[in-house]
Amino acid sequence: MLKKYIVIFIILCSLEFYNLTFIPESITKLLGFLGAVIIIVLLILNIIYGERISIKLNFKYEISLLLLAVFISMFMAKIFHGQSIPTTLLVQRSMYYLLFYFLLAYLKIDKYDLMRIIVYFAIAYFLIYLIQYSIYPSRIFRGRASLDRGTVRIFLQGYIYLLSAFFIGLFQFYNFNKLKYGAICGMVAIIFVLQGTRQSMATAGLLTIISIIFSKQAKSKFLYMFLIVISVIPIFILFQDIFMNLLEVTQHEQSKSTDNVRIRSATFFLTTFMPDKLAYFFGNGASSANEEYGQLMEMYAELYGFYRSDVGIIGTYVTYGAIFAIAELGIYFKVLRKRLPENISFIKYVFFFNLLTILTGSDPFGGMDGIIGYSILLYLIDISLAEEKKASYNI
């Protein structure tokens, strides 16, 4: 039980307690740092005093390469941008959460407990979102929120749990006829609409249809398709204004496709921003807002709207280099190629979703909340494959 609470606390630290406004910002930042410290300390203690890892870690090399890339990029921040190594060590603290993947193997949390934790954090996301939506422009959290596209667009940390819960609910609903999980899917679908993110809605819809078509458990594929169509109608009626605004935005962007800020941002970071050919291999390192390097990044954001976090894996590539990007893509393709047990097959769709949106939005491997969420999913794969292998030996 204690280990489960440790995991929950680390997740809260990675979310910086959702940056709730009644918690001072200095405290939330400290909690984010504390989470990394707890992971490192517990990992060291388990390596020295704990039992050996009893399962195969299928992604240990890729995670190790990610950490190696982060280490090398520190020196690039010093060479290219004059940022001291101690400063970079501190500012890249979110990347130390990658060690959580190894810690989970020592903690040996039950996989169903982890899946329940994912769903609980998705529900928390949903409730905080609705509260913030209803009282806007008053704020209960520090983060991005704006009135746009006919809705209040709110972007909380912990999106990975929302996305994972959607596919957990979907698979539990039509594979195992657990009706309460259909409500979870509906809950997440409402957030997709309220955020006004076209790509999320379109990708989630596409993968829902694909998952039903390829499901081996769904007895009546036509019935589930019909239920999806029926459920979309009231959502469209309820949020008709949002859908109409999204249509207008799409038509406007199509008429000015050459002026897409993400395309200009990606082009800038891959060309003009790069200080040397070496940066294409090893990156530029994480930037500190208190240093000239970080102030330069803020200037690009304010003057031109260029954010590394808006161009997906390109942003993390520019920061941590080719080793990082290759290792991350390696994780995606390894997950998608593996044959997973039916009860965790939803994980493939989470990774597929992010692969389809990998050039837009923030890269989940670039922030501590995403890293923790994906570490849990990778560990679920490890433990499930180990259990399957053990069961095959016992036959």
For the segment 198-217, the average pLDDT, to the nearest whole number, is 84
For residue 155, the cross-strand partners are 144
Asked whether the predicted pLDDT for residue 241 surpasses 90, the reply is no
pLDDT, position 200: 83
Asked whether the predicted pLDDT for residue 340 surpasses 70, the reply is yes
**Based on the structure, what is the number of domains in the chain?**
1
Asked whether the predicted pLDDT for residue 209 surpasses 50, the reply is yes
Burial class (CB in 10 A: 0-12, 13-18, 19+), 45: exposed
Task: Measure the CA–CA gap between 5 and 357, rounded to whole angstroms.
Answer: 32
Q: How confident is the model at residue 258 (pLDDT cuts 50, 70, 90)?
A: very low
| Lowest-confidence segment of 95-99, 146-150, 256-260, 264-268 by average pLDDT | 256-260
Asked whether the predicted pLDDT for residue 41 surpasses 50, the reply is yes
User: Rounded mean pLDDT of the chain?
Assistant: 89
Q: How confident is the model at residue 253 (pLDDT cuts 50, 70, 90)?
A: low
pLDDT, position 393: 65
Q: Using alpha carbons, select from 185, 180, 221 the residue that is nearest to residue 204.
A: 185
Asked whether the predicted pLDDT for residue 333 surpasses 90, the reply is yes
Percent of the chain with pLDDT over 70: 95
Asked whether the predicted pLDDT for residue 256 surpasses 60, the reply is no
Task: Measure the CA–CA gap between 65 and 327, rounded to whole angstroms.
Answer: 6
Q: How confident is the model at residue 362 (pLDDT cuts 50, 70, 90)?
A: confident
pLDDT, position 57: 95
For the segment 338-365, the average pLDDT, to the nearest whole number, is 89
Percent of the chain with pLDDT over 90: 59
Q: How confident is the model at residue 218 (pLDDT cuts 50, 70, 90)?
A: low
What's the predicted TM-score (pTM) here?
0.92
pLDDT, position 178: 72
pLDDT, position 265: 92
Which range marks the domain in which residue 378 is found? 2-394
pLDDT, position 144: 82
Between the CA of residue 77 and those of 64, 71, 297, what are the distances in Å? 20, 11, 13
Asked whether the predicted pLDDT for residue 168 surpasses 50, the reply is yes
pLDDT, position 158: 92
Asked whether the predicted pLDDT for residue 228 surpasses 80, the reply is no
Instruction: Write out the two tokens for 317.
Output: 């590539």
For the segment 166-173, the average pLDDT, to the nearest whole number, is 88
List pLDDT tens digits, range 74-133: 999 999 999 999 999 999 999 999 999 999 999 999 999 999 999 999 999 999 999 999
Q: How confident is the model at residue 252 (pLDDT cuts 50, 70, 90)?
A: low
pLDDT, position 326: 96
List pLDDT tens digits, range 287-330: 998 899 999 999 999 998 898 988 999 999 999 999 999 999 99
Asked whether the predicted pLDDT for residue 142 surpasses 50, the reply is yes
